[in-house]
Structure formats: C-alpha cells, structure tokens
C-alpha cells in the first residue's frame, strides 16, 4: 500500500517514530508521501528512514499557515524545491475557511501560485479543502490548461463535486473519514470510480474507525483500504493493487 498523505515527520511521532514506521511496514505500507506544512517541514522530512519504506517529499505551505502577506521570495523558493528530482508533489496547499476567513484572498493567491508551479514542474498539486469547495474547484477550473494534475486530499464532497473534480483532472484522496459511520462519505465514494482514488492517512490526524480518536499512523490505512474493498466488493489485495498503481502513475514513480 501507498500512503499518499502523511505528516510522519511531525513532533507527534518524535517519541516512537521508529516503531510507527515498523508497524507501517508490517501492515504492508511500502511508500509514504509527505506533504509539507511549511518550509521548516522539509528538513524534518529528510530525517525519515526505514529499510522497507520509501519516503517521498513534497514542498508547500498549508492554507492555515498563510498569513497577511505572501513572502516576497515565496514563489521562487517554492519553485526551487519543487523543481528538484527528489520532490514529488506541490503542497499541501488549498483553502481552509473553517478556522478563519481572515486571509481568504491570501489563501487563494497562495493556492494559485502552487497550481502554477505544479504545471511548470509537472508534478501533482496536493489540495486541502475545508468549507471552501466552490472556490477550490473554481480555482482549479481557472488554472487547468490540460497539464495540471492533483489530489483532492481527504475527499468529503458530494457525488456532483467529486465528478466535477475528476472532470477537472483531479484524483480523490480517500482517508479515515470514509470509515466514519455518520459522515456519508462511503455512500458518495461508492458512486465514483475507484480508478481515480488513492489511499491516504493524514497522520497524525483523522484516524479511521476503529481507531477514531487516537493518533493516526500509516499502519491504520489498512482499515480505509478494507472499507474500499467492502464498498466496491473487491478483495483487499485488489484495492491495494489498484490504488498503488494509480498513486505511482500520478506521482510518476
């Protein structure tokens, strides 16, 4: 399995990271993609090691970390990282109107910069979206020139929104929310093509059922994979194969 979205480098794992990675390997996780929260994340990512897991870095600024002014050299610095061969995606970026709407215009500007760089370096953009779906899809529509690829991370939209995202060239990141009993995401996912879905955890956040409420970790992705297997009446092995192949193709591995 490939965890396409994990913050395994964060301090929540400082006490037992080696054990967390070992559990991931034992659960069948072969690769972990690490979206950045800010530029400080990158040095933390470079410390990640495990003999049985490949770690893939990404660079970006999380929308909740976007403040009053976009730094002057932000685009140049982001492009410099994302142009490197050992960086595999651009983000995470996107929009978040849940915590605050103070810097909406700045978030939009940052998101557009990430999209432009993703097109320039031909790597997928990783999109955080919380209570901002219409604006998020509008920006993707405006930026899409036929070469933009990306992931709607933690997909929790409607069937119509999901179809629109797919039409715009996005893939859907399926994580722990799909296992939540009352979220309804499982019913939506059932009406969309698994060929456009990839697995993710968002560790240490959004643990799937039956681990909900605990710190999430890559090993828990097996519960989300099993949920997809149940939804699409497939074996766990088939879900693993399909989502892994999709992820590797998207990230050009």
Per-residue pLDDT, 74: 94
Under-50 pLDDT residues of the chain:
none
Per-residue pLDDT, 78: 97
CA 93 – CA 112 distance, rounded (Å): 9
The CATH fold of domain 2-250: TIM Barrel (3.20.20)
pLDDT tens track for 179-195: 998 889 999 999 999 99
Backbone angles phi, psi at 107, to 5 degrees: -60, -45
Residue 29 CA neighbour count, 13 Å, CB half:
30
Q: Parallel, antiparallel, or unpaired: how do β-strands 87-96 and 170-174 relate?
A: unpaired
Indicate the domain borders of the chain: 2-250
CA 20 – CA 184 distance, rounded (Å): 29
Per-residue pLDDT, 72: 85
CA 136 – CA 108 distance, rounded (Å): 8
Per-residue pLDDT, 71: 84
CA 181 – CA 120 distance, rounded (Å): 40
Contact indicator for 144, 168 with CB cutoff of 8 Å: yes
Per-residue pLDDT, 240: 97
CA 205 – CA 6 distance, rounded (Å): 9
């Amino acid at each position: 399995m490939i965890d396409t979205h994990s913050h395994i480098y964060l301090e929540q794992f400082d006490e037992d990271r080696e054990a967390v990675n070992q559990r991931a390997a034992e659960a069948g996780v072969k690769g972990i993609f690490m979206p950045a929260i800010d530029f400080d994340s990158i040095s933390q990512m470079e410390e990640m090691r495990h003999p049985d897991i490949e770690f893939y870095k990404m660079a970006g600024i999380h929308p909740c970390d976007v403040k009053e002014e976009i730094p002057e050299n932000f685009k140049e610095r982001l492009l410099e990282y994302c142009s490197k061969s050992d960086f595999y995606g651009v983000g995470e970026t996107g929009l978040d109107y849940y915590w605050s709407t103070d810097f909406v215009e700045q978030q939009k500007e940052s998101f557009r910069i990430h999209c432009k760089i993703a097109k320039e370096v031909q790597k997928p953009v990783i999109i955080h979206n919380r209570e901002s779906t219409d604006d998020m899809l509008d920006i993707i529509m405006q930026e899409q020139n036929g070469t933009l690829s990306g992931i709607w991370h933690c997909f929790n939209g409607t069937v119509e929104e999901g179809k629109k995202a797919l039409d715009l060239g996005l893939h859907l990141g399926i994580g722990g929310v799909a296992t939540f009993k009352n979220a309804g995401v499982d019913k939506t996912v059932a009406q969309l093509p698994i060929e456009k879905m990839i697995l993710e955890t968002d560790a240490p956040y959004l643990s799937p059922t039956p681990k909900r409420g605990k710190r999430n970790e890559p090993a828990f992705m097996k519960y989300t994979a099993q949920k997809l297997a149940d939804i699409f009446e497939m074996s766990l092995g088939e879900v693993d194969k399909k989502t892994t192949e999709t992820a590797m193709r998207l990230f050009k591995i």
